[in-house]
């Protein structure tokens, strides 16, 4: 995939209407619908502010949640419009629909320096089907000479009408958020500062197999932690007790070990593990060697020797990509491995890239977010990016 795409800075938007795809899929209180975390709204501000400063009229759109049967009040973007208005310090006009009469009238009346937010794109049945007719209608809101700007990295792995389809009808470029993702993750995949160390955790081998496979082509060292380490351990004849185990994926795990050896890539697996007598924050725990977990016990974190091994590997890195926690970091007792890795990354001189999802949450929670070079805004998208898959919402943008 070509990571070199045109951005908002490569085009003239003065006096034009810009259809801007944001990721405003924010968490909300289920009773009051109050936004509980506005990070995704804040992440869109630099692109929005730039477009408004350049004299564009901005027509922003986004999905929110998974409405099944068309419009539902609980999935309305109205709370987002209110919060966006506060953050921008200016009025945000809110449309009652996506491509209906209200959206059309408000888009037509929109002046340079003003911003309109369309209602939830998933209120339209054709959105997730990438219906060309819907894409055409959305593009038409920007009118003659309009432009499409994609800045919703969390949704670019989906070929929907608002993330990819509209690019067939309007010149399409990236906003600053997607540009940053392409620069950091794309740069790490295409031309990394070496050594490139990839730390992969999380619960399942099955969800990371594509990433491991792709990174074996480019990484110098791959570190395996989290629940998926027990499938690797069992594949090599280790005893894993009641630990998370994907029996069907043992052969794949062994294939990865062999492929790493063939390619001269260091594949580091846990040498000891913290085990618990139940899956609970107050479980009894002890440290045992990897592959020696007794029945009735389960591994919930990497052990102290493994922590040292992994932190030493990070120490001399040029680039580190981290996706997935080392253990059940939600339980304080089993968060030591994840904390240690986050701390090691905060101290290294390497370019540090956190691949969204749980690892991003862990880094934020532990207070190390500002010490990382880049924290991805899309869990699923960053995973598919690291798998080397083409992202429809990026592929549709104009090449630089």
For the annotated catalytic residues, the residue numbers are: 40, 204, 357, 380
C-beta contacts of 99-103 below 8 A and 24+ residues apart: 99/124, 99/134, 99/137, 99/138, 99/140, 99/141, 103/141
Q: How far apart are CA 230 and CA 73, in angstroms?
A: 44
**Token pair for 306:** 């493994």
Which residue, among 172, 314, 197, has the nearest Cα to 265 in the 3D structure? 197
Long-range contacts of the stretch 367-374 (C-beta < 8 A, 24+):
368/342, 368/343, 371/345, 371/346, 371/347, 372/345, 372/346, 373/184, 374/180, 374/181, 374/184, 374/185
Residue 261 tokens, joined: 């050896």
User: Of all helices (H) and strands (E), which one includes residue 51?
Assistant: helix 39-53
Neighbouring-strand partners of residue 59: 19, 116
> How far are the Cα atoms of 37, 184, 367 from residue 371, in angstroms, in the given order?
21, 15, 9
User: How far is CA 260 from its chain centroid?
Assistant: 26
- What is the rounded CA–CA span in Å between residue 321 and residue 382? 11
Tell me if 314 sits within 8 A of 353, measured CB to CB. no
Neighbours of 264 (CB within 10 A): 7
Q: From 102, 107, 28, select the one nearest 60 (Cα to Cα).
A: 107
Dihedral angle, C-alpha 45, 124, 167, 103, nearest 10 °: -60
């Amino acid at each position: 995939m070509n990571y070199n795409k045109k951005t908002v800075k490569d085009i003239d938007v003065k006096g034009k209407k810009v259809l801007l795809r944001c990721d405003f899929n924010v968490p909300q209180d289920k009773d009051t619908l109050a936004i509980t975390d506005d990070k995704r709204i804040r992440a869109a501000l630099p692109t929005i502010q730039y477009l408004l400063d350049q004299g564009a009229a901005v027509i922003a759109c986004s999905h929110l949640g998974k409405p099944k049967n068309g419009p539902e009040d609980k999935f309305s973007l109205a709370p987002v419009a209110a919060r966006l208005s506060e953050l921008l310090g200016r009025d945000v006009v809110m449309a009652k629909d996506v491509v209906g009469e209200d959206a059309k009238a408000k888009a037509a009346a929109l002046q340079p320096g003003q911003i309109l937010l369309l209602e939830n794109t998933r209120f339209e049945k054709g959105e997730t089907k990438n219906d060309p007719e819907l894409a055409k209608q959305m593009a038409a809101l920007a009118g003659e000479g309009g432009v499409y700007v994609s800045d919703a990295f969390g949704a670019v792995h989906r070929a929907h009408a608002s993330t990819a389809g509209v690019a067939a009808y309007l010149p399409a470029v990236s906003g600053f958020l997607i540009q940053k993702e392409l620069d950091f993750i794309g740069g790490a995949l295409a031309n990394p500062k070496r050594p490139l160390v990839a730390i992969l955790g999380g619960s399942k081998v099955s969800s990371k197999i594509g990433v491991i496979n792709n990174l074996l082509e480019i990484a110098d060292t791959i570190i395996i932690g989290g629940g998926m380490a027990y499938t690797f351990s069992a594949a090599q004849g280790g005893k894993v007790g009641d630990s998370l185990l994907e029996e069907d994926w043992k052969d794949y795990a062994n294939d990865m070990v062999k492929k790493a050896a063939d390619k001269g890539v260091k594949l580091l697996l846990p040498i000891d593990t913290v085990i618990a007598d139940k899956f609970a924050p107050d479980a009894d725990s002890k440290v045992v060697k990897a592959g020696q977990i007794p029945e009735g016990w389960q591994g919930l974190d990497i052990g102290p020797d493994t922590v040292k091994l992994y932190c030493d590997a990070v120490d001399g890195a040029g680039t580190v990509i981290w996706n997935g926690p080392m253990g059940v970091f939600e339980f304080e007792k089993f968060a030591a491995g994840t904390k240690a890795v986050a701390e090691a990354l905060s101290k290294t001189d390497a370019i540090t890239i956190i691949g969204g999802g749980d690892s991003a949450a862990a880094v934020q929670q532990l207070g190390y977010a500002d010490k990382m070079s880049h924290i991805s805004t899309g869990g699923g998208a960053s995973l598919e990016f690291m798998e080397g898959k083409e992202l429809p919402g990026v592929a549709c943008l104009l090449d630089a």
